[in-house]
Amino acid sequence: MLQKHLDKLVNGKKNAKIFVPLCTKSIDLKWLADQGHTVVGLEVAESCIQSFFKEQKLEFTVEMGLGGKAKIYKAVNHNIKLYVADFFDFNKEAEGQFDGVWDRRAMISLNKDQYPRYVALIKTLLAPDGRCLFVNADFDRTTCPGPYLVTHEMLKDLYKDGYKVEYVDERNRSEKDDPEELVGFKWFLEKMFLISKA
């Protein structure tokens, strides 16, 4: 869905600065950079970041950041910088503000009581004309009990102060569509929403 709706995220910008929270080893990071955008990701598990660079065959350097609270992996020949850190240690002083935030099931991986804090931080990271593409997930709960389902109404409530939340698209997949990611799932419904200044 990201490829289909990229322009909603970058809003016509050819070299947008995009933040990908809780990015794991997503191939979206490399794809966004290949489109000419600058990508900053954040992930708690360092093994995911290491796997990303290995699987994408990218050279990298490593340095410390966030006052010693983060390791920063930088791709040598691509505009990709990935932080290994606690999400709530990140702030706009680290990288400035972003044109876009690509939240593919990031917030929903947190505990529900952390959602307001997460949204508050995302708002500080978005530039005045910045946008967020948010993807949630609903699925066969007999296979896996979590994560928590975030509805359109819940998103509108979380972003009610100064932002609007618009439904964009959805897709329903199963194990046969992606046997590696969706093993055991009879159905897996993703819905995409666009979050922008009201």
pLDDT tens profile 127-153: 999 999 999 987 776 666 666 778 899
CA distance 145 to 192: 21
**Residue 82, pLDDT above cutoff 70:** yes
pLDDT range class, residue 186, cuts 50, 70, 90:
confident
User: Between the CA of residue 188 and those of 1, 103, 191, what are the distances in Å?
Assistant: 14, 17, 10
Q: Give backbone dihedrals phi and psi of 119, rounded to 5 degrees, phi first.
A: -60, -40
Rg (CA), the chain: 16
CA distance 193 to 157: 14
Question: Which pTM does this prediction carry?
Answer: 0.92
pLDDT at residue 175 in the model: 61
Nearest-5° Cα angle at 100, 8 to 195: 60
